[in-house]
Amino acid sequence: MRMTDTVLKPMHPEGWRFVGIFAVITALLFWLWEPLGWIGVVLTIWCYYFFRDPVRQVPEGEGLVISPADGMISQITTVLPPPELGMAAEPMTRISVFMSVFNVHVNRSPVSGVLKKMAYTKGKFVNASLDKASEHNERNALLIELPDGREIACVQIAGLVARRILPFVKEGDTLYAGRRFGLIRFGSRVDVYLPPGVAPLVAEGQTMIAGETVMADLTASLLPRPARAE
């Protein structure tokens, strides 16, 4: 791999106008006072990296649930699914991945299946790492039907800084594991709701890579995987 490939990552088209705005402001700051201009350069570079969209190597295998987001698992708990999706009121394991402003924010489908329903809900902008963010924050919920008829929910949740959730898909679309389905601007969280009886293969505090890290195996009935900090 070339050094330039390590440093320079592809950027999602959604980011070009923001980088352009930052660049114009940077030019004005240089005109006003050079030290301010260099601050603008740093912020412009950060904006470019925020919208980066690197290529990912998606694991292949029937039944694998892949992380939809980069970041850290902030919580694994058992809760009812999002009411706006109209799913059965049965407890499901929810894995929450918190994305900081330094993570890649392009989200990818955790599984292959059909997007049966997508529901956008306006809301607040409290800290996305808090449990109440699942109910009170702006969010976009996706219901994905698997080939065997089971269902998985994936919810994009806006955070303190995030102000817009952008979907790239629509109801009825056929998704495949690792497909880009949306983006959240500037800090947020993504929840995955596993079908009943499916245990996570990850642990709280673990770092996730969207499109690469395996979260669960739908074909296996396993107990939650233990973990230890070292």
Structure tokens belonging to residue 74: 């902030």
* CB-CB contact of 48 with 19 (8 Å): yes
Looking at 74, 109, 112, 188, which residue is catalytic? 188
Distance CA 14, CA 19 (A): 10
- For the question of residue 188 being annotated catalytic, the response is yes
Look at residue 177 and give its three-state secondary structure. coil
DSSP type of residue 196: T
Structure tokens belonging to residue 116: 């049966």
Q: Cα dihedral angle (174, 192, 14, 38), rounded to 10 degrees?
A: -160
* CB-CB contact of 59 with 212 (8 Å): yes
Residue with tokens 């800290």: 127
Catalytic residues: 188
